[in-house]
């Protein structure tokens, strides 16, 4: 079945550091891929998405590229801020699927 694997956290970085959170997936067909973010005490929010191979999703300075050859969708940001501290979830949805499969989440701490 479909699944998502993302790097375990927590990830701790200093402000303005470069961020990468790895995500790989297993799926039949051509899934759509997403990153969701959960800020402390809140529900999840869609951060960015990519619906086909080589698409790049971007939002709030974050980027992720759909790499079919490596079945990956790594999240990157060039310069993180303290306000980026949150839990990040990689997710996928299969073609004509009516649900999302979430990864286990990666907690990110940014130190001032």
The footprint of another protein (CB under 8 A) covers 32, 34, 38, 41-46, 49, 87, 89, 91, 93, 97-100, 102, 104-105, 107
Name the helix (H) or strand (E) containing 38.
Answer: strand 32-38
- Asked, as a colleague might, if the bond just before 50 is cis with ω within 30 of 0, I would say no
- Shortest approach of another protein to residue 92 CB, angstroms? 9
- Shortest approach of another protein to residue 42 CB, angstroms? 6
Burial of 94 (0-12, 13-18, 19+ CB in 10 A): middle
- Shortest approach of another protein to residue 15 CB, angstroms? 23
Q: Find out whether 66 and 50 touch, Cβ atoms under 8 Å.
A: yes
Closer of 85 and 102 to another protein (Cβ)? 102
Closer of 13 and 87 to another protein (Cβ)? 87
């Amino acid at each position: 079945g479909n699944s998502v694997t993302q790097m375990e956290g927590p990830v701790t970085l200093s402000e303005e550091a470069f961020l990468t959170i790895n995500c790989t997936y297993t799926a039949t067909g051509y899934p759509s891929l997403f990153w969701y973010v959960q800020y402390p005490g809140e529900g999840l929010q869609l951060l960015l998405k990519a619906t086909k191979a080589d698409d790049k999703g971007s939002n709030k300075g974050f980027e992720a590229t759909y790499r079919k050859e490596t079945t990956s969708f790594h999240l990157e940001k060039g310069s993180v801020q303290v306000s980026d501290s949150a839990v990040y979830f990689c997710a996928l949805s299969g073609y004509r699927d009516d649900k999302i499969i979430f990864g286990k989440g990666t907690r990110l701490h940014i130190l001032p």
